[in-house]
Amino acid sequence: MGFEQYIAEWLIAAGIALIIIEVALLGMSTIVLLIGGVSMILVGLSHQADLVQTTNLPITLAITIAVLMILSYRPLKKIQNKTDHKVVQTEFSNFSFYLESDVNPNSETTYRYSGIEWKLKSKVPISAGSEVKVVKMDVGVMWIVLSE
């Protein structure tokens, strides 16, 4: 007796625990625990309704996981492929300063700002002494244009 008598409740509780771990701790980064949790809840409920016998629980769980994986693959893939390409505004956006040396597309000119040595990049040549503003930031790189 004991465990076998409450196997449906154990499956439902384990399924809920897997979903909580997936959502709260992993932030939906792996869908495997979510699918496993939903499958365990479905099989537990099916067992409570006497649709599945105790001896068939492992194979029923495996089939349920496989079916849910197949059904959820395309919607989850579509969600995963969405990307956001908006430009982020930071404290460096539209920051203006005067160039100390010439900048051209191939130069290795740097500018020290906020304790960091930034590489300056421009699509067109800009001469020293010109006022420029930052229009784009990459890792360690400030893209600049002439201020208007």
Model confidence pLDDT, tens digit, residues 103-142: 988 888 888 888 889 999 999 999 989 999 988 888 888 8
74 and 102 share one domain: no
Which residue has tokens 């409920």?
A: 45
Long-range contacts of 136-143 (CB under 8 A, 24+ apart): 136/87, 137/90, 137/92, 137/93, 140/116, 142/92, 142/111, 142/113, 142/118
> The pTM is what?
0.56
Average pLDDT, integer, range 57-78 = 92
63 and 105 share one domain: no
| Listed residue (111, 87, 88) closest to 99, CA to CA | 111
Q: pLDDT digit string (tens) for 32-44? A: 899 999 999 999 9
Which residue segment(s) compose the domain that 120 sits in?
96-146
CATH of the domain at 112: 2.40.50.140
3-class DSSP state for residue 99?
A: coil
72 and 105 share one domain: no
Q: Tally the domains of the chain.
A: 2
Do the domain assignments include residue 87? no
